[in-house]
């Protein structure tokens, strides 16, 4: 272990909501890390399954925050970030299991390059208590090169700068978080609630010149969508979930794309929307209704989004060429 790096405090934030089935193993995997200079903060979003009380009784020396209602992911994690003290902040899902050297390896790597603000390894499936070697669809280096949604792989075995990495266990520099807060007045934008909030943060970080590193020399296991191998289709999700995802996708594009980049991408965006409507027309009328309501909510919040957009785009530190590298060329 690099003893110099071990002096850096890492705050591990675990956001819990009814996670009794998994959070115990998750916390244990953090406590067993070879990197010992960590603080563990468990933020509970008003769980009703007794998980918060059980974990607090089992590990009384950890730091706990109990929200009086479910704040969603964005605002829930903001509470934890504000309470943390670390030089680095790890955002950890309660259904994630870390290998013992995960934090040590990531910190040793990110400390080599101060321009790297976010680091994470690939995401493997944790199914029925079994830690598999199956890559989840959300693992790997995220790019925006084939669609505006993140999620297209490059070489999974190759270390690379990417638009983003998994949102289930990234480690983020405190200086990046402070930078975003100083520009926008928030870490995660709570308007997203849950869904696309990490993409919004990655956009804002990228526009400020921060790099994200996909680091395949260490991985972690995640239940998340692993129980269904990531194969549950959006149209099979609840109406409210679909509406939120469609709305938040529009939020991300409106808030973070400079006008000239948006114009450059417009042919694809138009084609993507046309194909989406055709698909849902034949497959799921419920999804079309969700899109309609998402558009209504988007328009209702447009004035607020434009204020946030001005804060972001007035403080861009990268060139158009640097932004375009994350997108497909048309």
Among residues 228, 245, 269, the one where a domain terminates is 228
User: Could you tell me if 89 and 16 lie in one domain?
Assistant: yes
Q: How many domains does the chain have?
A: 2
149 and 262 in one domain? Answer: no
For residue 6, the model assigns a pLDDT of 75
Residues 137 and 259 in one domain: no
Asked if residue 326 belongs to a domain, the reply is no
- Are residues 123 and 158 both part of a single domain? yes
Taking 80 as the threshold, does the pLDDT of residue 36 lie above it?
yes
Same-domain pairing of 85 and 202: yes
Could you tell me if 150 and 249 lie in one domain? no
Among residues 228, 246, 281, which one ends one of the domains?
228
Tell me what pLDDT residue 149 has. 35
- The predicted pLDDT at position 312 comes to 97
294-309 pLDDT tens trace: 999 999 999 999 999 9
- Among residues 228, 261, 278, the one where a domain terminates is 228
Residue 288, in any domain of the structure: yes
In a domain, 325, yes or no: no
Please report the pLDDT score of residue 232 as a whole number: 64
Whether residue 154 lies inside any domain: the answer is: yes
Q: 204 and 124 in one domain?
A: yes
Q: Do 79 and 27 sit in the same domain of this protein?
A: yes
Q: Is 308 exposed, middle or buried (0-12, 13-18, 19+ CB in 10 A)?
A: buried
Whether residues 223 and 293 fall in one domain: no
pLDDT of residue 213: 93
114-145 pLDDT tens trace: 999 999 999 998 888 888 888 876 544 444 44
Half-sphere exposure of 61 (CA within 13 A, CB side): 3
List the domain range (segments joined by +) for residue 17. 5-228
Residue 328 lies in a domain: no
Considering the domain architecture, whether residues 169 and 263 belong to the same structural domain is answered as no
The percentage of the chain sitting over the pLDDT mark of 90, rounded to a whole number, equals 72
Mean pLDDT calculated for residue range 23-36:
97
CATH number of the domain to which 112 belongs = 3.90.550.10
| Residue 278 belongs to a domain | yes
What is the tens place of the pLDDT at every residue in 246-303? 999 999 999 999 999 999 888 888 888 899 999 999 999 999 999 999 999 999 999 9
- The tens digit of pLDDT for each residue in 169-184 reads 999 999 999 999 999 9
pLDDT digits (tens, 9 = 90+) for 211-238: 999 999 999 999 975 444 445 678 888 9
- For residues 209 and 185, membership in a common domain is answered with yes
Pair (97, 196) in one structural domain: yes
- Which pLDDT does position 147 carry in this prediction? 39
Whether 259 is in a domain gets the answer yes
**Domain contains 330:** no
43-79: pLDDT as tens digits: 999 999 999 999 999 999 999 999 999 999 999 999 9
């Amino acid at each position: 272990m690099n003893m110099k790096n071990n002096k850096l405090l890492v705050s591990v934030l675990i956001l819990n909501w009814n996670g009794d089935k998994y959070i115990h193993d998750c916390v244990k995997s953090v406590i067993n890390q070879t990197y010992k200079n960590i603080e563990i903060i468990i933020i509970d979003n008003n769980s009703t399954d007794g998980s918060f009380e059980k974990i607090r009784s089992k590990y009384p020396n950890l730091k706990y925050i109990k929200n009086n209602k479910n704040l969603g992911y964005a605002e829930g994690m903001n509470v934890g970030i504000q309470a943390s003290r670390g030089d680095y902040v790890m955002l950890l899902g309660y259904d994630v299991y870390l290998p013992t050297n995960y934090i040590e390896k990531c910190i040793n790597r990110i400390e080599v390059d101060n321009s790297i603000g976010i680091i994470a390894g690939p995401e493997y499936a944790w199914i029925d208590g079994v830690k598999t070697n199956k890559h989840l669809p959300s693992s790997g280096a995220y790019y925006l090169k084939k669609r505006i949604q993140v999620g297209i792989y490059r070489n999974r075995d190759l270390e690379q700068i990417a638009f983003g990495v998994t949102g289930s266990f990234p480690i983020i520099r405190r200086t990046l978080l402070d930078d975003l807060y100083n520009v926008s007045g928030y870490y995660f934008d709570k308007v997203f609630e849950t869904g696309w909030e990490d993409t919004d943060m990655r956009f804002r970080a990228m526009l400020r010149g921060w790099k994200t590193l996909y680091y395949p020399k260490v991985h972690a296991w995640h239940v998340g969508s692993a129980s269904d191998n990531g194969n549950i289709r959006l149209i099979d999700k609840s109406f409210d979930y679909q509406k939120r995802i469609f709305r938040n996708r529009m939020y991300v594009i409106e808030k973070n794309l400079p006008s000239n980049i948006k114009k450059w991408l417009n042919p694809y965006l138009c084609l993507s929307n046309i194909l989406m409507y055709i698909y849902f027309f034949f497959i799921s009328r419920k999804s079309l209704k969700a899109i309609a309501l998402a558009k209504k909510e988007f328009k209702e919040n447009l004035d607020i989004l434009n204020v946030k957009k001005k804060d972001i785009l007035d403080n861009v530190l990268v060139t158009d060429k640097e932004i375009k590298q994350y997108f497909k060329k048309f």
